Amino acid sequence: MRRELRYAAGGLRREHVLPLLGWSIPEALPSVFGGLAVARAVDTGFLAHRPLIGVGWLLALLAVSAVGAAGTRAIYRRLGLVVEPVRDDLVRRVVSGALRRGIAGRPDDGAIARLTHQIEVVRDTYAGQVMVIRTFLITTIGAVIGLLSLAPVIVLLIMPAFLVGLLAFVATLAMAVARQQDYLRCDEELSVVSGSVLAGARDILVGGTEPSAAEFVGRSIDAQAAAEVALARVSILRSLSFAVGGSGPLLILLAAAPWLISRGLSAGAVLGGLIYVQSGLRSALGTLINGLGGSGLRFIITLRRILDADEPMKPPAPTTPADHIRLRAVNFRYGPHADPVLRDLDLTVPAGGHLAVVGPSGVGKSTLASILCGLQTATGSVQVPSDRVLIPQEAFLFTGTVSENLSYLRPDAEDDTILHAAAAVGAADLITRLGGLSAVLEPARLSAGEGQLVALTRAYLSPADFAILDEATCHLDPRAERQAEEAFARRGGTLVVIAHRMSSALRARQILVLDGGRAIAGEHDALLLSSPLYRELLGHWSDPGSDPALLFGDADGLQPRPRPRLGDGPGHVVVHGARAEK
């Protein structure tokens, strides 16, 4: 529970809490003035046969209550400034956690529930706890100040019982949280067990195993019943705490009233003291017990679930901005017991460089892209340009004009600039088919390749001087892919391409080969000699099966050509319509 309390306290920002406390002063005036006004109205007014003076004191109390109401109104208007930053931080935690797990190939099915329901529960209950604790403090302090100004002896009589009840309640909070969690766990287990038994009801009847099934479910029912009893015991302890701290002072004051009057205390002072105890201390303690014991438990438990599931988003790996890419001893794994995806990776790409990353599927190419753009945190030293743009495999499009989609990262781009960018990456014909820049783009009507052309144009237009293409051309044909990559290479700045085809490697000035945690970087000719995996990948993509009919042409010279003396014996293949020699 300490973690949750630290998180709740950390969400109280000084610039928002101070105005809240400031407006609490006028709200506290009725608590300070109430008993004193009643005592003066009785002693100097009604008992002294001067009713107008008594009425005047009551009217003054009414005016003070109006001031307190204005303070309460101002407090509620500012409550959102205290609560919303906590909600925003939790949203960032849930979204960043879901993104990290999604990138790691572990989709988080519970993220939607945390984002749409549990965070709202935390926000509402957090606001409630802020108000409950603030009201308790303001009301208690006001009542004590009023009692000290009225009759200090009353404070000495009633405060020990009040403090005992308060401390007893605080001592039950940790127990209440544990009992509530046990109850929820037993309830979930009962739901799972009963569901499995109902699903197999026919087999249970056929096999005659009803007694065993009943015993199986009965154990879960008994566990839930025991959890409910334990939770009820905590409620009894809360009630006893309120009886001691809330009703105890009232009974003590009533019992001591004759003695106090015999010692010279007026009837009005005793009545005022009763008002301070009843409407001040007793009411404040009841509000605290009901608030923390009810919504407070929901706040702690729901917040605990969110914090357990979603670690805070760590600072992005690129901690040192630079005009080049420089990785030293970079390591990354998705869990403490998982195999490393990257191991002691050293890499340098100069400013304006062009790197292609190749390797088998699932080897960590996209993970490296995530590290370079700050979505994943790795150990080691990572330096990259601070102004980056990532183009993922799946394009993000939204319903709006074509111009709005293309200029999303550069809203001030002129139409001529947008059209020039589109022509550079090969999207000019697409814009024409869509009806021009002012036409409405409907994402569902575009193919995956057309969506990638839109995303590529958008990234080309962006002011970023470091572009990362994470299989951003996988739905394009080889010619279109070559045009897009060459456009980015001519655009200026640094370019990293997570290769979908090996032809991307031939266009790059530098190539990084990833192989199960190991990596080797170099130029094409050097890698042909030093990397068996690179030769294997290049041979696979050179196979005619990659495009046997050359429907898209041989833009990069990877397809085999007919050779002289090609025989027609076993193991020989005639490609591209070449005829075997006789």
Q: In this structure, what CATH number is given to the domain that contains residue 227?
A: 1.20.1560.10
Q: Are residues 299 and 364 in the same domain?
A: no
Read off the pLDDT of residues 146-157 as tens digits, 9 standing for 90 and up. Answer: 888 888 898 899
Q: What gap in Å lies between CA 441 and CA 434, rounded to an integer? A: 7
| Six-digit token string for 285 | 């303690």
Choice between 547 and 161, residue whose per-residue pLDDT is larger: 161
Number of structural domains found in the chain: 3
Instruction: Identify the residue with better confidence: 366 or 322.
Output: 366
pLDDT digits (tens, 9 = 90+) for 509-525: 999 998 876 788 888 88
> Residue 532: pLDDT band by 50, 70, 90 thresholds?
confident
Same domain, 160 and 298: yes
Task: Give the range among 69-73, 87-91, 95-99, 338-342 with minimum mean pLDDT.
Answer: 95-99
Say if residue 293 is in the same domain as residue 342: no
Residue 104 pLDDT class (50, 70, 90 cuts): low
**Residue range 16-28: mean pLDDT, rounded:** 79
Residues 302 and 336 grouped into a single domain: no
Cβ pair 438, 480 in contact under 8 A? no
314 found inside a domain? no
Domain end position, chosen among 251, 282, 309: 309
pLDDT of residue 108: 61
Instruction: Tell me the pLDDT band of 107, cut-offs 50, 70 and 90.
Output: low
Q: Is residue 528, in this structure, part of any structural domain at all? A: yes
| b/e 351-366 (16+ beta carbons within 10 angstroms → b) | eebbbbbbbeeebbbb
On the CB side of 203, how many CA atoms lie within 13 Å of its CA? 7
**Rounded average pLDDT over 210-234:** 84
Residue 578 lies in a domain: yes
Bridge pairing between strands 510-515 and 494-498? unpaired
- Structural domain includes residue 315: no
Q: What is the pLDDT of residue 428?
A: 93
Within a 13 Å sphere around the CA of 148, how many CA atoms are in the beta-carbon half? 8
pLDDT, tens digit (0-9, with 9 covering 90-100), for 435-494: 999 999 988 899 999 999 999 999 999 998 899 999 989 899 999 999 999 999 998 889
| Three-class SS of 83-118 | HHHHHHHHHHHHHHHHHHHHHCCCCCCCHHHHHHHH
With beta carbons less than 8 A apart as the criterion, state whether 425 and 391 touch: no
pTM for this model (two decimals) = 0.51
How far from 24 is each of 79, 108, 127, 469, CA to CA, in Å?
Answer: 12, 43, 15, 55
- Quick one: 376 and 274 in the same domain? no
255 and 236: one domain?
Answer: yes
Is the residue at 180 inside a domain? Answer: yes
Same domain, 173 and 27: yes
> What is the band of 109 on the pLDDT scale with cuts at 50, 70, 90?
low
Give me the residue label for tokens 């009057």. Answer: 261
Give a yes or no: residue 216 inside a domain.
Answer: yes
Does one domain contain both 298 and 199? Answer: yes
- Tell me the helix, strand and coil percentages in the chain, rounded to 5: 65, 10, 25
* Whole-number pLDDT of residue 310: 58
Write down how long the chain is: 582
537 CB-near residues (< 8 Å, 6+ apart): 358, 359, 360, 502, 513
Confidence of residue 572 (pLDDT cuts 50, 70, 90): very low
- Average of per-residue pLDDT across 264-291: 86
Mean pLDDT of the chain: 80
Cα(91)–Cα(266) distance, integer angstroms: 58
Range among 21-25, 106-110, 371-375, 398-402 rated most confident: 398-402
| 387/334 Cα distance (integer angstroms) | 26
Instruction: Enter the tokens of residue 487.
Output: 């456009």
Look at residue 379 and tell me if it is in a domain. Answer: yes
Domain endpoint, select from 309, 335, 364: 309
User: 184 is in which domain, residue-wise?
Assistant: 2-309
Rg (CA), the chain: 37
Q: Which CATH number goes with the domain that contains 353? A: 3.40.50.300
Check whether residue 6 and residue 53 sit in a common domain: yes
Q: Are residues 297 and 395 in the same domain?
A: no
Is residue 240 assigned to a domain?
Answer: yes
Q: Distance of CA 48 to CAs 54, 263, 266, 267, Å?
A: 9, 20, 12, 12
pLDDT classification of 415: cutoffs 50, 70, 90: very high
Q: Are residues 246 and 280 in the same domain?
A: yes
Angle at 533 between CA 532 and CA 535, to 5 degrees: 65
- Contact present, 179 and 234 (Cβ < 8 Å): yes
Q: Which residue has the higher pLDDT, 171 or 577?
A: 171
Sequence-ordered list of residues with C-beta below 8 angstroms from that of 271, at least 6 positions apart, any chain: 38, 39, 42
pLDDT value of position 284:
86
DSSP tag of 340: P
Mean pLDDT across 164-186: 83
Same domain membership, residue 334 and residue 267 = no
- The rounded distance, in Å, linking the Cα atoms of 48 and 63 is 23
Exposure of 132 by Cβ count < 10 A (0-12 exposed, 13-18 middle, 19+ buried)?
Answer: buried
Reference 353, options 322, 395, 316, 320; nearest CA is 322
| Boundary (domain end) residue, out of 309, 335, 351 | 309
With cut-offs at 50, 70 and 90, classify the pLDDT of residue 30. confident
Q: Which amino acid is at 538?
A: L
User: What is the rounded average pLDDT of the residues 130-149?
Assistant: 86
pLDDT at 553: 46
Residue in 55, 64, 31, 47 with CA at minimum distance from that of residue 269? 47
Region 369-392: mean pLDDT is: 86
